[in-house]
């Protein structure tokens, strides 16, 4: 099974009316020009939200489900599920697990993950990362604090301090910073 569950949308019985679904879902309010957009909040647990390419969200996102971001979120993201990031998030990221691929995040933000973080070879992340486990094939410009394993492949570049329980480094990986193994 991959990062996301097989279910992409919540189960809604056929006899459910649109009004009943609306009562369970908080949608963003339309704001007057110049007002800050409100965060989008969802009450479903097993859902998949998507920010498509060429799409920009101004404001934060909070979801109890999973999120795929291929566009831009100009705000923080909090997901109780997993995040697949190939776009840009310009605020703090808080989630269960996250995979970052095919993107460069250079706005000096942060990731807090309950589980695993994966920085793929074609990805770069600038900011501090706190997680259980992390696998780095790409570049991290920031400090890493992992309560479990940190794995650096031969293509990994880390410019920052690493604090971990276990560190595995393939020949060719580059670390510029202090390393502390507890």
Q: Is 56 helix (H, G, I), strand (E, B) or coil?
A: strand
Rounded-to-integer distance, Cα 2 and Cα 94, Å:
19
Instruction: Give the rounded distance of the alpha carbon of 156 from its chain centre.
Output: 19
DSSP 155: T
pTM, 2 dp: 0.76
Write out pLDDT tens, residues 3-53. Answer: 443 333 333 334 433 333 333 334 344 444 555 555 555 444 678 899 999
Residue 35 in contact with residue 28, Cβ under 8 Å?
A: no
Model pLDDT for residues 77-100, shown as the tens digit of each residue: 999 999 999 999 999 999 999 999
φ, ψ of residue 76 in degrees (nearest 5): -85, 160
**How far apart are the C-alpha atoms of 89 and 137, rounded to whole Å?**
20
CA 95 to chain centre: 6
Is 49:65 a contact under the CB 8 Å cutoff?
A: yes
Longest dimension (CA), the chain: 59
* C-alpha to C-alpha distance for 77 and 100, rounded to whole angstroms: 14
Query: 125-147, pLDDT tens digit by residue?
Result: 999 999 999 999 999 999 999 99
Whether the Cβ atoms of residue 148 and residue 129 lie closer than 8 Å to each other:
no
């Amino acid at each position: 099974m991959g990062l996301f569950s097989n279910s992409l949308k919540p189960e809604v019985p056929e006899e459910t009316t649109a009004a009943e679904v609306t009562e369970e879902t908080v949608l963003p309010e339309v704001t007057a020009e110049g007002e800050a957009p409100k965060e989008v909040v969802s009450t479903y647990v097993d859902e998949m939200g998507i920010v498509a390419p060429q799409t920009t969200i101004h404001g934060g996102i909070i979801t109890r489900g999973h999120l795929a971001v291929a566009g831009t979120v100009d705000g923080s993201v909090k997901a109780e599920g997993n995040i697949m990031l190939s776009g840009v998030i310009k605020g703090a990221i808080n989630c269960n697990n996250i995979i970052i691929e095919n993107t460069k995040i250079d706005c000096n933000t942060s990731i807090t993950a309950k589980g695993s973080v994966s920085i793929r070879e074609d990805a770069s992340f600038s900011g501090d990362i706190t997680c259980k486990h992390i696998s780095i094939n790409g570049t991290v410009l920031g400090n890493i604090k992992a309560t479990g394993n940190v794995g650096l492949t031969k293509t990994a570049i880390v410019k920052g301090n690493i604090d971990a329980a276990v560190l595995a480094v393939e020949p060719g990986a580059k670390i510029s910073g202090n390393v502390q193994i507890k």
